[in-house]
Amino acid sequence: MTKPHPWMANSGGDAKQQMLAAVGAQDVEALFVQVPADHRMQRPLDLPPQLASEVALSRHLDDLMAKNETCADNLSFLGAGAWPHYVPAICDEVVGRYEWQTSVFGAPTSDHGRNQAWFEFTSQIGALVEMDFVGLPVYSWGCAIGHSVRMASRITGRKRVLIPAIMDPERLSVLENYCAPTEMERHIEIVTVAIGADGCIDRDDLRAKADDSIAAIYFETPSYHGVIEGNPAELCQIARDAGAEAIVGVDPLSLGLLEAPGAYGATIAVGPTQPLGVHMYAGGGVGGFIASPDEEKYAREYNTLNVSISQTRQQGEFGFGLTLFHQSSYGMRDEGKDWTGNSVYLWSLANAAYMAAMGPEGFAEIGRLIMARAGSAAQAINALDGASVDLSRPIFKEFVVQFADHDVATINDALRQRGIFGGKDITGEAGITGAAALFCVTETHTPDDIDRLVTALKEVLA
């Protein structure tokens, strides 16, 4: 080291000498005697040059990242698991705080503020989905589906789950990993249920498959294709009649408008947390939640860490501590519920601040705005020659555009030349015939943005 390093206090001054003297060692090497010589690397690491100077490092990062083009420089209609929602400035300030960025477990007393914020995350998710038990977040929506299906399997003792035949391939792939390959004894079989022409679950197919072998029915509203399920209670009833869990995936931003899953008979609700005040971050903003009734049969199957409100020794004071810790993998290793570990807890603080600032009226307002903007975009695109949208489907935020004469890659290339990122290419995916893209329109898209898209599409399709 040529200079003391700004991130290592003892690389400067005589601290190392003092410590060596205290331990009675000639040099640091003497402290590594446990590592046999033939285990050791025989040469120095060959790495790019050190950039200890912050100005040099900053320039390097800027230069590297300048090679990206962003959804701020361009007009983007990509969603499908990472959505362009507005992130209030306070959310960035909240998650930027060094105190909880640097916190680890701590104690309920010393890290009180973070624990309270966690409880406010779970409480506000609980208010949105109308369920009483909510765990701390998991890695993603797909992971939440995976864990909840495994919960359902343990609760019912059954090894089969019904899912919609049309599901986001990202989430589906995650779920498949959670259900293990068929060669394995504890494999959970995934069975798909047909989707009708209306974009909703085919009731007849569901009833035919919902027998006493199924652990759960999983469905989403809005669906992967953005379709709002008109009678989710009916689907939940079919699950419960089969003695299965009714697991529903919801977009939390829709819940100012759409009925809460807890109100129509869902027994487990899951969903994404990124829409609640977290940037897309190239997919690094994703997170997931799991909620259920506060009944032991559910609570005792959570793999998550769970934080509970508590009284303290001071009359009238609240504290917040872990509950049901022992059932986690920290408590029981391989006998615990799946596994737990670091997740996306910092994002849950952005989520908490977002939900608190939004309030009930904010959720209703954003829901109406998203539906209006997405609806007008769908109508305008459907009016173009060579593009069509099934306007009979009630949609929230996302919708499928079918293209008659062009493939999506060609269209998206042409749009990109006009500074527009078109919808996700879903050609060849389940339930799709011909060329199709999934477009996402949110509160961040203005009427002018939609006009610009439509104008560009018209040129491209001509």
Residue 211 or 311 with smaller CB distance to other proteins = 311
Site string for other proteins, 363-392 (x = CB under 8 A): xxxx-xx-xxx-x-----------------
Residue 140 or 385 with smaller CB distance to other proteins = 140
- How far is Cα 161 from Cα 213, in angstroms, rounded to an integer? 9
Among all chains, which residue has been given the structure tokens 């961040």?
A: 444
Site string for other proteins, 238-267 (x = CB under 8 A): -----------------xxxxxx--xx---
Distant-in-sequence, close-in-space partners of 453: CB < 8 Å, separation ≥ 6: 75, 77, 377, 381, 415, 420
| Least CB distance to other proteins at residue 336 (A) | 6
Radius of gyration of the chain (CA): 26
| Least CB distance to other proteins at residue 427 (A) | 14
Element of type H or E holding 135 = none
Residue 213 or 308 with smaller CB distance to other proteins = 308
Residue 385 or 413 with smaller CB distance to other proteins = 413
409: helix, coil or strand? helix
| Least CB distance to other proteins at residue 445 (A) | 12
Question: How far is Cα of residue 213 from the mean position of the Cα atoms in its chain?
Answer: 29
Residue 148 structure tokens: 């909840």
Distant-in-sequence, close-in-space partners of 166: CB < 8 Å, separation ≥ 6: 195, 223, 224, 225, 429, 430, 431
| Least CB distance to other proteins at residue 389 (A) | 16
Q: Does 36 bind other proteins (CB under 8 A)?
A: yes
Residue 32 or 212 with smaller CB distance to other proteins = 32
- Type of residue at 26: Q
- How far is Cα 195 from Cα 260, in angstroms, rounded to an integer? 22
Q: Select from 58, 379, 410, 417 the one that contacts other proteins (CB under 8 A).
A: 58
Residue 212 structure tokens: 């006493």
Which residues, 409 to 448, sit near other proteins by CB under 8 A? 412-413, 416, 421, 424, 443
Q: Does 18 bind other proteins (CB under 8 A)?
A: yes
Cβ neighbours around 202 below 10 Å, total: 17
Residue 66 or 212 with smaller CB distance to other proteins = 66
Residue 127 structure tokens: 């208010």
From 227-235, 236-244, 379-387, 399-407, give the range in contact with other proteins by CB under 8 A. 227-235
Residue 180 structure tokens: 């293990």
Phi and psi angles of residue 134, each rounded to the nearest 5 degrees, phi first: -135, 135
Which residues, 60 to 119, sit near other proteins by CB under 8 A? 60-62, 64-74, 76, 78, 80-82, 84, 87-88, 90, 92-114, 116-119
From 35-43, 211-219, 242-250, 454-462, give the range in contact with other proteins by CB under 8 A. 35-43
Residues in contact with other proteins, counted by CB under 8 A, come to a total of 215
Residue 360 or 385 with smaller CB distance to other proteins = 360
Which residues, 303 to 342, sit near other proteins by CB under 8 A? 305-314, 317-319, 321-324, 326, 329-336, 338-342
| Least CB distance to other proteins at residue 219 (A) | 13
From 57-65, 154-162, 211-219, 242-250, give the range in contact with other proteins by CB under 8 A. 57-65
| Least CB distance to other proteins at residue 16 (A) | 6
- How far is Cα 320 from Cα 307, in angstroms, rounded to an integer? 6
Which residues, 189 to 208, sit near other proteins by CB under 8 A? none
Element of type H or E holding 398 = strand 398-403
| Least CB distance to other proteins at residue 206 (A) | 16
| Least CB distance to other proteins at residue 343 (A) | 5
- Type of residue at 320: F
Distant-in-sequence, close-in-space partners of 343: CB < 8 Å, separation ≥ 6: 136, 137, 138, 139, 287, 304
Question: How far is Cα of residue 22 from the mean position of the Cα atoms in its chain?
Answer: 50
Give the per-residue SS3 of 103-126: CCCCCCCCCHHHHHHHHHHHHHHH
**DSSP symbol at 50:** P
Which residues, 131 to 150, sit near other proteins by CB under 8 A? 131-136, 139-143, 150
Residue 2 or 212 with smaller CB distance to other proteins = 2
Which residues, 110 to 129, sit near other proteins by CB under 8 A? 110-114, 116-120, 122-128
- How far is Cα 266 from Cα 390, in angstroms, rounded to an integer? 28
